[in-house]
Amino acid sequence: WPRGNLRVALGRPKGGVEAAQGQPLHGGLWQLSGRVLPRVVVFSLPQHSVADLKKTKVPQDFSTIPDWTRQTVLGVDVYSAIAYFSDPSLLALGQGRNLTADTNTAEGIWIEQAGAAPARIAFEEEELAATTNYTKQGCLFGQGQHYFYNLTKESGCEERRPYYMLYEAKTKQMLGFGVIIFGKTSQRCFPHRKWFINPPSFVAPLVTPNGPACTQKWMHDYGSTSLHVFFRPKPWNIRCRT
Instruction: Confirm if 16 and 54 have CB atoms less than 8 A apart.
Output: yes
Q: In this predicted structure, what is the pLDDT of residue 186?
A: 64
Per-residue pLDDT, 82:
84
pLDDT at 44: 27
CA distance 101 to 45: 22
Specify whether the CB–CB gap between 77 and 69 falls below 8 A.
no
The DSSP-derived string for 161-212 is: -SEEEEE-TTT-BEEEEEEEEES-B--TT-TT--SSB---GGGHHHH-TTS-
Domain boundaries of the chain, sorted by first residue: 7-237
| CA 64 to chain CA centroid, nearest Å | 18
pLDDT of the residue at 231: 85
From the CA atom positions of the chain, what is the Rg in Å? 17
CA 122 to CA 135: how far, in whole Å?
13
Q: Residue 46 has what pLDDT? A: 29
Q: What is the pLDDT along the chain (242 residues), one digit of tens a residue?
A: 333 333 344 444 444 322 223 323 222 333 333 333 334 444 322 233 333 344 457 888 888 999 988 877 677 777 788 888 878 887 777 776 676 677 777 777 889 898 888 899 999 999 999 999 999 999 999 999 999 999 999 999 999 999 999 999 999 999 999 999 998 776 555 556 677 888 999 999 999 999 999 999 999 999 998 889 888 888 999 999 86
